[in-house]
Amino acid sequence: MNKKKLLLWLSPFLLFSLYWLGIYWSLSNPMEEINYAENGGWMRYVMFKPFTETIGSDRIWKEDEGFQTYPYSDEIVGGQEELSVMMIRDSSEWVYWYEYQLNENASVRMSFKYDSVNKVFLQRNVYLYADGQTVEGSDFLKKLSTYGKGRTWLRNQSKKVAEQYILGTWFKNGSSRYSLKNLGDMKIGYYKLIEEQ
């Protein structure tokens, strides 16, 4: 009889533990964790800080918002740089926008998006916005060189944004499970212009 009472008393804790483990193992990479930390069920409060809090925002996602854009705090990205994330309800394919100000009339811009089907955190585009015009492709690299920057700088800056600002901030402030050495089932893909030699 005592064993039955003990089992009955322990069963809520066992069920809670099994539920927690089920969610924990279902989040197979950091981008899924990030999404769950902001959009998940009540268990997200037990497992993670809200994602918006980890990027330095004091605003929490409102239940009636379909999407919302949040800037990263100046303590994470500041000075000549700006980074924000557009979060979409019921989707993990959020878009991260980054801008590096070269001068008052020119900036390098890039975006990253998580492709949930192929499990790739992908740099979607990189371009120069100067004097009200967008410059892309090989023209972009030529124009960029006039500011004393080239493909190596662009590659390093892209990696800094993806690995230090976006993922690194999450590893530092949100997730203890994943790291740059352990991305789960996810890969990082950079724009072809960055990868070309």
pLDDT digits (tens, 9 = 90+) for 23-48: 565 688 999 888 877 776 655 555 67
First to last CA, the chain: 73
pLDDT bin (cut points 50, 70, 90) of residue 19 is very low
pTM here is 0.84
Residue 58 identity: D
Those residues whose C-beta lies under 8 Å from the C-beta of residue 123, and which sit 6 or more positions away, are 110, 111, 112, 158, 162, 189, 190, 191, 194
* Alpha-carbon dihedral angle through residues 63, 64, 67, 68, given to the nearest 10 degrees: -70
Q: Is the pLDDT confidence value at 18 over 60?
A: no
